[in-house]
Chain A
Amino acid sequence: MSSKEKRSAQLLQGTLDLIVLRNLETIGPQHAYQIASRLQQVSDQLLELNQGTLYPALVRLEQYGWIKGAWGKTESNREAKFYAITPAGRRALEKETTRWRRMSELVERLLLEGTQA
């Protein structure tokens, strides 16, 4: 377990929200399993999401009013709860993305400066 942890990327506080929102915006409504496997796939298994992290994030986003969950049917005719991004979610995503970019740029610059010195 511990070695696995070292390999996989640790999520920064708040970044999971951003990733989930972005995912829902580009692909459209998905259920929790889809979100989890998609994130794993995209991150080349580097992002090990456990349910104890994903579900509270979904709860939080729904509480903020940024996503909305509704029960529906999958292609395999199974019942699942599909989460979709709301207009408020889109606005938040935009704002958070800008913030994130600015933040990572800043961190990048600071790190570079460190190596130069």
Chain B
Amino acid sequence: MNRYIAQAVAKLRNLVAGRESDADFDREFGTHLAFLEDEFLRRGLAPAAARRAAKLECGSLELTRQSHRDGRAFLWLTQAAQDIQHALRSMRRLKGFTVAAILTLALGVGANTAVFSVVDAVLLKPLNYPDPDRIVQFFLSSSGGTAKGASIPDLRFWQDHANSVEEISAFDFGQSEMGLTSGAPEQVHGIHVTSNYLRLFGASLVLGRGFNADEDSAQGPNVVVLSYKLWKRRFAADDQIVGRAISLDKDWYTVIGVTGEGFRTEPEAQLWIPFHFDLSSVDKLHSFGVAARLKPGITLAQANAQLDVASEAARRASKMPDPDFEFKLRKFSDAMVSYVRPSLLLLQAAVILVLLIACTNLANLLLMRMTVRKREFAIRGAMGAGRGRILRQLIVESLLLCSFGCAVGVALGLIGARALLIASPNALPHIGKPDLAFGLDRRVLVFAAGLSLLTTLFFGLLPALDVCREGFENDLREAGARQGTGARSKRAQSVVVVSEVALSLVLLIGATLLIRTFICLSRAEPGFDSHHVVLMTMPLHDGHTDTAASATSMVRNAHQELAAIPGVEGSAATFSAPYASRMGLPFTSVSSNSTVSGDGEWMAVSPGYFGVLKIPILRGRDFNSNDNEGAPAVVLINEAMARRFWAGRDPIGQQILIGKDLGPKFKDTPRQVIGIVGDTRDDDLSRAPEPTMIIPDAQEPDQMVELETQFGPMWWLIRTHLEPKKLISAVSEPLRRASGGRPVGSVRTMDDVLSDSIAKQKFNMLLLSVFALIALLLAALGVYSVMAYSVTQRTHEIGVRMALGAARNDVRNMVLHEGAVRGVAGMVCGMCAAFFLVRLLADMLYGVSMRDPAVFFAVPAFMVFLTAVAAWIPARRAARLDPVQALRFD
């Protein structure tokens, strides 16, 4: 064995058995002494003298023992342990500094990591598909915007002509609620897909197989693929499930496969069933999404170019399925998060700002500590400590500080991340619901910790290098001469304070704008009364209620049943409830004296809808039970529609035709406008009401009823004067009875639905407020520590001033003035930066302008107040100094 290896092994063993070896050495040294003593005795010394002589000869036991110990151990390890002990001692001595630095590090590292991890898990989590970057989605783009809804002719065109992609698959945008009735009935979420969908997204299967092309044809059999979770929970992970039939909405579906545990789709689903598209259809309805995979070696740009060429050729031959649009491909993952991108940009900016502030603060603290300790190092240097040794100790101290800070930061981050997840609204575009057992994002953690470490090392060592270069003598002299703060370090401190105040002001202004946005949104008049209204869903896509007559009779039955229940003031049904999706359709005026046409939102409601939501009928009349299929066709329009299309004229009595030229599915008869209803912001509170056409449900064309039942559940809206939640059990049973045994799906109060609709803004506000608060804390800490330090540094000077007759107030004002000058400078810089940076926020604001004067006045004013307080405390301390002691202060 190589001797060095043998030595290392021996030293390692000593790590464990060090104490034993110490005892062994003491024994050995004892005999050594005894031999020496014998020797001296033999030479004729008296016993006592012999012992003394032996001890003298041997030298110090302690020194020998130490060299023995050093020989046994790894010397660098022992020294590192000493350095750590020393660092801990000096951290304990500078308690204020240590706490402030660790807190700064913890806030900087912890808060950033927490927020970013949540954002990452909730919004950004990369899709766990194989090669997610190769999956693309088809879009229809025109000058008016971009839509991702495709029709069957589009799908067929792409299948035939998009040669650079493969596995072109269609899928539902939203989940369909389906009644799973094998065993105890429950609602499950399913999506319709084409046969190659599971292949496109690389689904693994634990049982059975995916769909084949036959199962996807128009006459294909009813088959279903279950998700792992559903299979495990509902079917007790039965491995005989493949081939068995389960009942979904009263139809039987044969289970052909179960997906792997990790497989998730967007939208999330518990089961997948084939569309059964009739590909020869010329239906122009854009109702599903289409995705595909880029063929190997093809880039997105190439695929788009190829698609353009194919579309152009088709356009010339008049064979383009959607001549008004151009077809575009985008990355599937980008398409999914595009609408949260502004929030993400904002958060990233906030993360960087807070990190900057934290690091600035840290740098500031370290600089201050170094000036305090310059003398300590000068003395140690004078006593023979090598520069290397001093540097090493500083490195150890920095590392130690950083690890403590990061450890507290990680703890803080874990707690914070959980708190944020709990606060994060369900309405956020989760890509899979994150579970609470999730970890912190490692990349951000490493980034934040790394930056902190660099700051700590750089600013921890910078002054030390300074000391080393200039030599210790100067510092000893300087420290001894009780000088005030040097001009250079004072300038550095000013820069630190000014930038801290500026950075946190930017964040504060942003957060305040978002808070005001949220307040405006919560106060925004939705145009209807959400209080005391319960919303219940009831899926009808089982094919038994697909005509207006059958749906209407069910609704009338239920209406009567509900009216009999004590507490119910009114009820109505619609497929287009507030904040649920709604169809947009074109209309044309067919009255002889007018040529109005345009697009508007479209909905059918049962009589009583406007009463339940207390939406005012501004002119004309509401629907009544006489507006049935035999009666003349009627329509109500909202104020926005009247204003936009009949400005200054009277729309009442006009005849309009809805859905003209859209094909047989949208065939309707001309309707007479019988009234104008109040505008409602029931799609997005922050957006102006859209023109809307409302027709009575009894007059809805059958094919529209069929379409609506496929796309979403029917919504029951019930007004009560009782506590809405108390009503739920009382109404569920009558509704089930009236609808022929259909279960009620989700039940919510209108108030909840309304507040959920602004949940995203609330979350944005919450996140930015957390950041702003941390920034504020850090800035206050920074200003305070600089001012407090400055006072300590100038204690002697203050003593001299007082001795020369300065009053206490003068001293206080002097310190305050110093703080104020820096604060105001920071404020001005911050305001300038904010003035331009608010642009980032522009799209997220509502009810408050980007450069709201009130915000731009109040926030800096608050900041002034805070800096004043932060400077006031040290100023007061300075004023209370005893001149005699101040003069003696060293």
Task: Name the A residues within 8 Å of B6 (CB-CB).
Answer: 63-65
- Whether B3 contacts A78 by the Cβ 8 Å rule is no
Residue of B7, B34, B39, B64 near A55 (CB, 8 A) is: B64
Mark out the residues of chain A between 49 and 95 whose CB falls within 8 Å of any chain B CB in the assembled complex: 50-52, 55-56, 59-60, 62-66, 76, 78-81, 88, 92
- Whether A60 contacts B7 by the Cβ 8 Å rule is yes
Distance (Å) between the CB of B60 and the closest chain A CB? 8
Task: Name the A residues within 8 Å of B34 (CB-CB).
Answer: 78
Distance (Å) between the CB of A75 and the closest chain B CB? 12
- Whether B31 contacts A33 by the Cβ 8 Å rule is yes
Task: Name the A residues within 8 Å of B11 (CB-CB).
Answer: 63
- Please judge, given known A-B contacts A51-B59, A56-B71, A59-B68, whether A65 and B32 are in contact too, CB under 8 Å: no
Interface flag for A22 (CB, 8 Å) = no
- Whether B10 contacts A62 by the Cβ 8 Å rule is yes
Number of interface residues, chain B, beta carbon within 8 A: 27
Distance (Å) between the CB of A16 and the closest chain B CB? 13
Residue of B31, B58, B68 near A31 (CB, 8 A) is: B31
- Whether B72 contacts A59 by the Cβ 8 Å rule is yes
Task: Name the A residues within 8 Å of B59 (CB-CB).
Answer: 50-52
- Please judge, given known A-B contacts A56-B70, A56-B71, A60-B71, whether A51 and B32 are in contact too, CB under 8 Å: yes
Task: Name the B residues within 8 Å of A78 (CB-CB).
Answer: 31, 34-35
Interface flag for B207 (CB, 8 Å) = no
CB-nearest residue of chain B to A53: B67
Interface flag for B478 (CB, 8 Å) = no
Task: Name the A residues within 8 Å of B38 (CB-CB).
Answer: 76
Interface flag for B36 (CB, 8 Å) = yes
Interface flag for A47 (CB, 8 Å) = no
Q: How large is the interface on A (under 10, 10 to 19, 20 to 34, 35 or more residues)?
A: 20 to 34
CB-nearest residue of chain A to B28: A81
- Whether A52 contacts B10 by the Cβ 8 Å rule is no
Docked pose: A79 CA to B33 CA in angstroms: 12
Task: Name the A residues within 8 Å of B27 (CB-CB).
Answer: 79, 81
Docked pose: A52 CA to B29 CA in angstroms: 11
Interface flag for B56 (CB, 8 Å) = no
Mark out the residues of chain B between 1 and 16 whose CB falls within 8 Å of any chain A CB in the assembled complex: 1, 3, 6-7, 10-11
Task: Name the A residues within 8 Å of B301 (CB-CB).
Answer: none
CB-nearest residue of chain B to A59: B71
Docked pose: A59 CA to B7 CA in angstroms: 10
Residue with the highest number of chain A CB atoms closer than 10 Å, among B25, B32, B34, B72: B32
Task: Name the B residues within 8 Å of A64 (CB-CB).
Answer: 3, 6-7
Interface flag for A32 (CB, 8 Å) = yes
Interface flag for B63 (CB, 8 Å) = yes
- Whether A55 contacts B31 by the Cβ 8 Å rule is no
Residue of A33, A65, A81 near B36 (CB, 8 A) is: A33
Distance (Å) between the CB of B871 and the closest chain A CB? 58
CB-nearest residue of chain A to B1: A65
- Whether A80 contacts B7 by the Cβ 8 Å rule is no
Docked pose: A55 CA to B71 CA in angstroms: 9
Task: Name the A residues within 8 Å of B39 (CB-CB).
Answer: 37
Docked pose: A62 CA to B25 CA in angstroms: 13
Task: Name the A residues within 8 Å of B64 (CB-CB).
Answer: 51-52, 55
- Please judge, given known A-B contacts A59-B72, A65-B1, whether A51 and B58 are in contact too, CB under 8 Å: yes
Residue of B35, B68, B71, B72 near A33 (CB, 8 A) is: B35
Distance (Å) between the CB of A89 and the closest chain B CB? 10
Docked pose: A31 CA to B35 CA in angstroms: 10
- Whether B31 contacts A63 by the Cβ 8 Å rule is no
Interface string of A15-45 (1 = CB under 8 A from B): 0000000000000000111000100000000
Docked pose: A49 CA to B64 CA in angstroms: 12
- Whether A55 contacts B1 by the Cβ 8 Å rule is no
Residue of A52, A62, A76 near B67 (CB, 8 A) is: A52
Distance (Å) between the CB of B228 and the closest chain A CB? 58
Distance (Å) between the CB of A79 and the closest chain B CB? 6
Interface string of B754-779 (1 = CB under 8 A from A): 00000000000000000000000000
- Whether A32 contacts B32 by the Cβ 8 Å rule is yes
Task: Name the B residues within 8 Å of A59 (CB-CB).
Answer: 68, 71-72
- Please judge, given known A-B contacts A33-B36, A78-B31, A81-B31, whether A63 and B7 are in contact too, CB under 8 Å: yes
Distance (Å) between the CB of B32 and the closest chain A CB? 5
Task: Name the A residues within 8 Å of B35 (CB-CB).
Answer: 31, 33, 78, 80
- Please judge, given known A-B contacts A51-B32, A78-B31, A78-B34, whether A66 and B68 are in contact too, CB under 8 Å: no
Distance (Å) between the CB of B13 and the closest chain A CB? 9
CB-nearest residue of chain A to B24: A81
Docked pose: A52 CA to B28 CA in angstroms: 14
- Whether A63 contacts B10 by the Cβ 8 Å rule is yes
**B interface residue numbers (CB < 8 A to A):** 1, 3, 6-7, 10-11, 24-25, 27-29, 31-32, 34-36, 38-39, 58-59, 63-64, 67-68, 70-72
Question: Nearest 7 pairs between A and B by C-beta?
Answer: A56-B71, A63-B10, A59-B71, A64-B3, A33-B35, A63-B7, A51-B64
Query: Could you list 16 A-B pairs, sorted by A, with CB under 8 Å?
Result: A33-B31, A51-B32, A52-B63, A55-B29, A59-B72, A63-B6, A63-B7, A64-B3, A64-B6, A66-B3, A79-B27, A79-B31, A80-B28, A81-B24, A88-B1, A92-B3
**A interface residue numbers (CB < 8 A to B):** 31-33, 37, 50-52, 55-56, 59-60, 62-66, 76, 78-81, 88, 92
Q: A55-B67, A63-B71, A81-B24 are in contact. List 5 more A-B contacts (CB 8 A).
A: A51-B29, A51-B32, A52-B63, A63-B10, A64-B3
